[in-house]
């Protein structure tokens, strides 16, 4: 029995360091795995923070570009409308000039010519104002010009403004 106890004791003594070595290597492996996991989680958080920052910058850049596009479209619409009113005013001035010439040739220069000259001066001032207008004062000026164009002679009023661009198919 002493011999059996000795063999068991020697076996335990031999297995003890081996078990500690196995246990120690598994502890080391577990510690390395935890470190690797922690490092991977940290990198993932940094990557998501970095991508979130980049996404936010991309969104800001896209919003800025969209605002510039919208501003450009507003300016283009303003310029197109300004050109339209310039043409309408010039057409009205041409009609008035024709009426003035006709009145002068027929001898009616004294009867209605002063009204025609006053209207011509008003429309000429409107034309200069349209050329000098900005986006900020356009709404007010457009209303004034529309009113001035509308209060012309009843038989000579300009046709209503259309939404089609000249030269463009309907």
Query: What share of the chain in percent tops pLDDT 70?
Result: 65
d(CA 89, CA 130): 9
Residue 105 lies in a domain: yes
- How high is the pLDDT of residue 157? 44
| pLDDT range class, residue 106, cuts 50, 70, 90 | confident
Give the pLDDT score at 132: 92
Q: Cα(3)–Cα(5) distance, rounded to whole angstroms?
A: 5
Total tally of structural domains belonging to the chain: 1
Alpha carbons within 13 angstroms on the beta-carbon side of residue 8 total 5
Q: Give a yes or no: residue 10 inside a domain.
A: no
Nearest to 120 by CA among 128, 111, 110, 131: 128
Residue 3 inside a domain? The answer is: no
| Residue 91 within any structural domain of the chain | yes
CA end-to-end distance (rounded Å), the chain: 115
Q: Which residue has the higher pLDDT, 159 or 143?
A: 143
Q: Give domain status of residue 79, yes or no.
A: yes
Considering the domain boundaries, does residue 34 fall inside one? no
Give domain status of residue 76, yes or no.
yes
Residue 168 in domain? no
Contacts for 161-168: CB closer than 8 Å, 24+ residues apart: 161/84, 161/88, 165/80
The pLDDT tens digits for 20-57 are 445 557 788 788 888 878 877 777 667 665 666 767 77
Which domain does 81 fall in, by range?
51-156
């Amino acid at each position: 029995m002493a011999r059996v106890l000795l063999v068991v004791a020697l076996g335990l003594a031999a297995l003890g360091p081996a078990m500690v070595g196995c246990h120690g290597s598994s502890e080391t492996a577990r510690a390395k795995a935890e470190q690797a996991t922690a490092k991977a989680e940290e990198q993932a958080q940094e990557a998501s923070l970095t991508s979130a920052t980049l996404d936010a910058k991309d969104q800001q850049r896209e919003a800025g570009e969209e605002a510039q596009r919208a501003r450009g479209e507003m300016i283009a619409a303003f310029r197109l409308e300004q050109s339209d009113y310039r043409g309408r005013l010039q057409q009205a001035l041409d009609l008035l000039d024709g009426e003035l010439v006709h009145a002068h040739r027929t001898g009616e220069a004294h009867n209605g010519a002063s009204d025609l000259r006053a209207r011509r001066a008003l429309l000429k001032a409107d034309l200069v104002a349209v050329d000098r207008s900005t986006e900020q004062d356009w709404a007010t000026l457009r209303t004034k010009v529309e009113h001035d164009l509308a209060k012309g002679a009843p038989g000579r009023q300009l046709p209503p403004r259309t939404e089609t661009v000249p030269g463009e198919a309907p």
